[in-house]
Amino acid sequence: MKQTVKKIIAREGLIILSLLILAGASAYIRSLITEQRAVYESNVQEIELVIKEGKYLKPQGIRVQFPKNTSEDVINKTLERDYPHIKRDDWIILDSPTNEIANAYDEKGNPVFDSIIYKINFSDVSFGLLILAYPLYLVLSFIVWAFKTLRTT
């Protein structure tokens, strides 16, 4: 009986330790992504796409970001490729980024922050691992134990 208790404690301890390590890794990835975005946004110009209606400019609700040293030719080609309904030069450059969600591009017009890793909310992953994963594991292991116990009797 004593050996069984030691095995259970060891198993549960390893599970808790694994969840803590995974939560820490998730928090570390989140900090790396946040830092990478901050470096990108420190040298970026934001462009808002508009349509000219008479002498007024009507915003289209589309904002894109390019590094400040991006050539106008690359900006035009990228906007024509990704937003074909917007005519050439129907955009205005904003003085400073507004921290709204914007499509980000590099100096060559390639999308950045577009992969799945940037779309995952690592704060939620860390929270789930720290708060929800172990109780869920306990409930599932109890259900498995109960079925095994009921089947043997």
| pLDDT on residue 95 | 60
Strand partners of residue 93: 47
Tell me: pLDDT of 21 over 90.
Answer: yes
Tell me: pLDDT of 14 over 90.
Answer: yes
Q: Six-digit token pair at 101?
A: 């969600």
Three-state secondary-structure class, residue 109: coil
Please, which pLDDT band fits residue 109 given cuts at 50, 70 and 90? confident
**Structure letter (DSSP) for residue 43:** T
| pLDDT on residue 101 | 63
- Give the start-to-end residue ranges of the domains of the chain: 2-39+119-145, 45-114
Quickly tell me which residue has 């198993």 as its tokens.
11
Strand partners of residue 58: 51
Q: How far is CA 52 from CA 65, 83, 115, 118, 145, in A?
A: 21, 16, 33, 34, 68
List, in order, residues 6 or more apart from 96 with CB less than 8 Å away.
46
